[in-house]
Amino acid sequence: MLKEELKDILGSPRNFIEEELEKDVISGKVTKEIHTRFPPEPNGYLHIGHAKAICLNFGIAQKYKGKTNLRFDDTNPTTEDTEFVNAIKRDINWLGFEWHDTEYYASDYFGQLYQFAIKLIREGLAYVDDSSPDEIADMKGTPTEPGTDSPYRSRSVEENLRLFEGMKNGEYEDGSRVLRAKVDMASPNMHMRDPVIYRIKKETHHRTGDEWCIYPMYDFAHGQSDSIEEITHSLCSLEFRHHRDLYNWLIEKLEIFPSRQIEFARMNVAYMITSKRKLLRLIQEGKVAAWDDPRMSTISGMRRRGYPPAAIRTFCDKVGIAKRDNVIDMALLEACVREEMNKTAARLMVVLNPIKLVITNYPEGESEELTVINNPEDESMGSRTMPFGREIYIERDDFMIDPPRKFFRLGPGRSVRLKGAYIIHCEGYEQDGNGEITQINCTYYPDSKSGSDTSGVKAKGTLHWVKMDSAVDIQVNQYDRLFTDPTPDAHEDRDLMEFYNEESLHIIPAAKAEPAIVDAEVGVGVQFMRKGYFVKDPDSTDEQIVFNRTVTLKDTWKKLQAK
């Protein structure tokens, strides 16, 4: 975006990154279109923190009529896999974004990065170090004391070139040698004390196979990849603040395109963790089923749980871009999900804990089709019909033998309306030998039909229901927070697994649903009336229909915590 093009945007609300970007354009530091990048490492699935980074990088490029690259930071063959590459691409597309051109990989630039390293060696700015990792760590010193030079720091250029070529050719064992940048062992920034920029790793890479025996460290691959792709603004989370000095130093010494790094606060959401290593641990220890378990903070997990991508984008927008880390209330995310699903989700009737109800004055053997609105928030979604008859299911907790005064549901001598149907009046109930209620007996008012009620009967409560002989059995998975503590990995003296919520999954094996449930599509959320928002699980079959609860109708967690 050029200076004259900014006038259409100036004055609109903007975050501090956008302010810096505009300054760069106005000052002439940036003279080409805004170009950002999203650089995930393909060693796991993306999580809610990545969603924020995706929305930021792609959103800024869209706002300023620029472009965004998807570049995989695949410099560690030990942990990376094509499965993760495909999952990441799927997640970005699902969130509603498209990257510029084809996707890129740091491994695309291994040859160029090697030549950059050679340039540093030739100019006396890098050297091969035979020290062990522990020895290198000791040489770093402390934040209050300078480091000490490696005994190999004074090696000649010729020796360093020979040794580095030997590292590339696989002549040395893993860990026996590294290449370090020669910066400043007395720098107040510990990260600038001769950082390692290449290591030996004789592992098969998911793209380059066994072509390379050495791999660049993140700091050497990331900034230089940004420069190769002419990224104007490299947007990173705050933990990379101390990496910025090295980022700029390498650009200066290599005399390459001057990408600019800007840091922002990462997304921390209460009751969620965003460490891939810790997420993997949950899988390995059997606490969750997989990366896409609906309780996980991964984008694939949220998709399987039924979170609409628009709700996640809205959440990221509401949280905004900050300069300091903080913890976002999970209730805000769930509120965004409810708001979106309230607008888009069709309403269906599903009885989770069924009890039989018989309408004794309804003709035996007869039934009728009643018209029910699909979504009162959106008339364009139309209506459907559902069967009604003498015997139906209602929720067991919608009936009480001796209800309190403010219980506006069913009890002996009480009347309620059946949603979309008739008003019924409870005449009695039946129990088994253990005192368990087995059947509720009611009468109905034939002239109280919804939409044409002339009965004059008043009913304070409205219940959902399902006709017994047409009910479809479905499995319902009800999910809650995966942890009982809002910051489970913030306790230095305790293991995060101590806060694992054993009640985070409750399975209802045989809920009763209206027939329209069979037409529900995977990934398209629906509302179970009075119960919450749900989505059909992708592993559902014709024989076993499974629905996952996305979110309750109201925020019940705070109410439970207050008890």
All residues at 6 or more sequence positions from 81 whose CB lies less than 8 Å from its CB, including other chains: 42, 43, 206
Whether residue 514 contacts residue 469, with contact meaning beta carbons closer than 8 Å, is answered with no
Q: What are the structure tokens assigned to 181, written together?
A: 């940048």
All residues at 6 or more sequence positions from 359 whose CB lies less than 8 Å from its CB, including other chains: 390, 391, 392, 424, 442, 443, 444
Strand-pair partners of 288: none
Whether residue 39 contacts residue 343, with contact meaning beta carbons closer than 8 Å, is answered with no
In the three-class reduction of DSSP (H, G, I as helix; E, B as strand; rest coil), residue 500 is classed as strand
Gap between the Cα atoms of 371 and 182, Å rounded: 77
Gap between the Cα atoms of 248 and 125, Å rounded: 14
Rg (CA), the chain: 31
Instruction: Report the length, in residues, of the chain.
Output: 563
Active-site positions read 41, 266, 276
Give, as one character, the DSSP assignment of residue 46. -
In the three-class reduction of DSSP (H, G, I as helix; E, B as strand; rest coil), residue 264 is classed as strand
Closest CA to 388 of 307, 288, 467: 467
Residue with tokens 């974004």: 97
Closest CA to 210 of 218, 198, 201, 199: 201
Beta strands in 403-561 (DSSP E): 415-418, 423-431, 437-444, 461-463, 466-467, 472-479, 505-513, 526-528, 532-536, 546-551
Gap between the Cα atoms of 357 and 141, Å rounded: 77
Whether residue 297 contacts residue 269, with contact meaning beta carbons closer than 8 Å, is answered with yes
Sheet holding 346-348, edge to edge: 346-348, 526-528, 532-536, 546-551, 472-479, 505-513, 350-351
